Structure 1
């Protein structure tokens, strides 16, 4: 046998040994990785299953339990008066009417004197409760809150509904939105809600009872391009509300975040499809009827049944 033949055979055997060893290592690695992937997969399925069960529980709690155990018959436990901002139209007006139907006196806040007067007179005559209204343009910033504080200083405010909100004329990228509009959104959606809590919360704490309802939005639960400042303002309300819950729930104050999707209101005039009632887009009156029944029951809810399903499907928080 020549040296060349010996070296070739030796090399072939070495390659065979290396290949066999590598195959065994790859097979072992494959089985190990499959075990890891199986664990990861099982964990993911368990996590999604938990979210599904949590969503089902949330739906039952918010949509069924609230109808069985709603405290609407004792809503006056919070106080004689409710303050509703953005009350001349839409959800605010409907919410005020729903509370009035349960015997709560109503104080309406909004920008239009004529609209507020009409709503005030309508609620008073229909539901036989006391009504007042305060004209306040929240887009003006902090200057509007001292007169509100003076007007409410001797009032037994049991419920505050921070509903006032500003949206775009139509969805657009940030730099396509005028600076003034973005500032209006910040002042109305954020500043007004915070300052109204400053106005009414001290009295609630003194009386050791009260309810604060902050109308956020499902837009604050996820990234929403073309509605950047609006969505961010609603995300602020969501975090603001959650923090308040930790701070004051133990002192007898119920604090709730409402996260509706689209409701038939003037705020969504940019789209004809949202101006018609459907399974996914309720009338403001329908939405308010469901929302009021979650007071004292749900700390965070979309309130309306189809909105709850949609929020649970897209929101993992």
Structure 2
């Protein structure tokens, strides 16, 4: 049969494509002979067309069963393909790879040398008068991005609603990292703030923009039952969608002129998979994800890197999670991990456990994903209502 080699298909869109295997034709022919039934052949054909890695795994499962319960086929010359340990291993190998692939990709994606070299690549560090701009920077993920990037010696522009909190965070960063900080107080729930922000950024060379500011429901609820629905619609669209577009509009021309820059847009796992009872929030994060992917494709040839960051749950005030765990990291832990992918992945879950969770979800049919999400949000809703009733 000749030497069998496996060629993993890698690239920045691995997450969207799924984990596929390019299989040598001779291996498919031999597998088809071993998997002696029309159903098995269908799975093999599906795999050869790269439908999904799951199809190939199912084919191999069927092959193992066929091996275990095989009855000699008079149409196959005795001894042509003996059913021995080697054949069993050939069948088992794709199944093993099916389960190991997400771990391999997680190692590949999160074992890089770190933040500094990738930012140098985009000309965003070790240059005089370079600023980074972070929206929603006084708490959680935004504050963690501001602090982590300040470690690289970059000057910081913090934009958030509360001037008091801005002053506090600005002072902390200035004292801890010895970098220049500036603040702009702006409520992203309004649309008349961008002239003020533009004046505050005038004359600054912006190397990195972190579009982090976001808002959600107080608790999961069906669309028509959301409290103060009209104002919630307006606020959520302004904060989660309009802010990303407007802030990008302000800094992108300068980046294009200099042919360098990084834009990090914080989306969510709910932007990858629809989340019932958080319909508006989920849809707004899907917008951020698609907007980021399109921008990256449009401007990567001009030296500008745009990344969509799609975390699962992180221990922040917005997520109403106080204690960090392995699957719900602190904002500091998450950001340290996510920044390692800058310049390397235009779309990332940012954290190895979140990557594995997203990988598992990507293998499931959409209706199962919806069921899972509905179960989770109903549970959160029930806990909130129970706690609120007690109070």
| Cα offset, 1:181, TM superposition | 1.4
Q: Structure 2 CA distance, aligned partners of 1:146 and 1:68?
A: 36
- Aligned in 2, Cα 1:98/1:115: closer, same or farther, shift over 3 Å? same
**Where does residue 42 of structure 1 map in the other structure?**
44
- Aligned equivalent of 2:347, options 296, 300, 305: 300
| Cα offset, 1:298, TM superposition | 1.3
Q: Structure 1 CA distance, aligned partners of 2:350 and 2:198?
A: 30
**Where does residue 284 of structure 2 map in the other structure?**
233
Residue by residue, what CA displacement relative to the aligned partner does 1:217-251 show, whole Å, maximum 9, x if unpaired?
A: 01111121010000000000111011001110000
- Does the residue aligned with 2:318 lie in a helix, a strand or coil? helix
- Aligned equivalent of 1:77, options 119, 123, 136: 123
| Cα offset, 1:124, TM superposition | 0.5
Worse-matched range after superposition: 41-50 or 242-251: 41-50
Residue by residue, what CA displacement relative to the aligned partner does 1:119-171 show, whole Å, maximum 9, x if unpaired?
A: 00100000001100111111012x11111112212101000000000011111
**Where does residue 14 of structure 1 map in the other structure?**
none
- Aligned equivalent of 2:186, options 133, 136, 149: 136
| C-alpha contact (below 8 Å) 1:209/1:252 kept by paired residues | yes
Q: Structure 2 CA distance, aligned partners of 1:193 and 1:69?
A: 23
Q: Structure 1 CA distance, aligned partners of 2:174 and 2:119?
A: 20
Q: 2:248 matched to 1:243?
A: no
- Aligned in 2, Cα 1:106/1:73: closer, same or farther, shift over 3 Å? same
| Cα offset, 1:55, TM superposition | 3.9
Q: 2:258 matched to 1:253?
A: no
| C-alpha contact (below 8 Å) 2:314/2:331 kept by paired residues | yes
- Does the residue aligned with 1:166 lie in a helix, a strand or coil? coil
- Structure number with the higher helix fraction is 1
Flag structure 1 segments of 5+ consecutive residues without an equivalent: 1-33
**Where does residue 276 of structure 1 map in the other structure?**
323
- Aligned equivalent of 2:170, options 120, 123, 126: 120
Q: Structure 1 CA distance, aligned partners of 2:40 and 2:244?
A: 48
| Cα offset, 1:277, TM superposition | 1.1
- Aligned equivalent of 2:157, options 107, 120, 143: 107
- Aligned in 2, Cα 1:73/1:222: closer, same or farther, shift over 3 Å? closer
Q: RCO higher in 1 or 2 (8 Å CA, sep ≥ 6)?
A: 1
- Aligned in 2, Cα 1:241/1:175: closer, same or farther, shift over 3 Å? same
- Aligned in 2, Cα 1:180/1:307: closer, same or farther, shift over 3 Å? same
- Aligned equivalent of 1:87, options 117, 124, 137: 137
Provide the alpha-carbon RMSD of the alignment. Answer: 2.3
**Under a length normalisation based on structure 2, what TM-score does the superposition of the two structures give?**
0.67
**Under a length normalisation based on structure 1, what TM-score does the superposition of the two structures give?**
0.82
User: Larger Rg: 1 or 2?
Assistant: 1
